[in-house]
Structure formats: structure tokens, C-alpha cells
Amino acid sequence: MEYILFIHNNSRTRASAEEWDCFFTKARASGMFAGGSEIANRQLLGMQPGLCITDSIGGFMRFEADDKSALLQLLESHPVLVHGGTIELCEMPRT
């Protein structure tokens, strides 16, 4: 199953570069990490006014995992969670 993880901008404290490096090393070693990015330079397009959901989302990560429990175990050490923030895991059904 493919997953997208939205990283909320609501941590109580900021994670250090070392914490992020450690998590990325662990995520890559798991074989489940499939990329991601910080989000910047937002622009809304379209005719209808809408909420800019990226005001509260600072980035995303993608994962591929056959065993969701293994992914959840990895995410327990996600720096945003460790620092009291929120991450949002969404399944991406294959169509």
C-alpha cells in the first residue's frame, strides 16, 4: 500500500537537523521511504475561493509498506511527533 504523510506545522518545539538526519537514515534503511519535500511558495489557482490547507502543512513524505504496523512503528520516532506535533497518514489506494 502507498501512503502519504502530511507534516503539520504545530510542533511545540523544533527538531534539530541531527534529529531529522537520524529519522531520514532510519526511514531509508526501512525500505519504506519513497520521498517527500518541504512545502514552500504556495499559490491558489481556480475561480472559487478556498482554504489554503498548506498554511498548516509544512511538508509531506511518501511511504510504501505492505505492513502498516511496521510503518506506524517507524513513525513513532518522527521528529514532529517527538516534539509534540501532528503528522497525518493517509492511504493512497492504487487505481
User: pLDDT, tens digit, for every residue of 35-63?
Assistant: 999 988 888 888 777 777 778 899 999 99
- Pairing of β 33-38 and β 87-92: unpaired
Residue 33, classified by CB atoms within 10 Å of its CB into exposed (0-12), middle (13-18) or buried (19+), is: buried
In tens, the pLDDT along 57-93 reads: 999 999 999 999 999 999 999 999 999 999 999 999 8
CB atoms within 10 A of CB 93: 6
Partners of residue 19 on adjacent β-strands: none
Rounded to 10 degrees, the C-alpha dihedral 79/81/86/90 comes to 80
> Does 1 have pLDDT greater than 80?
yes
Structural domains in the chain plus CATH codes: 2-39+55-92 (3.30.70.1060)
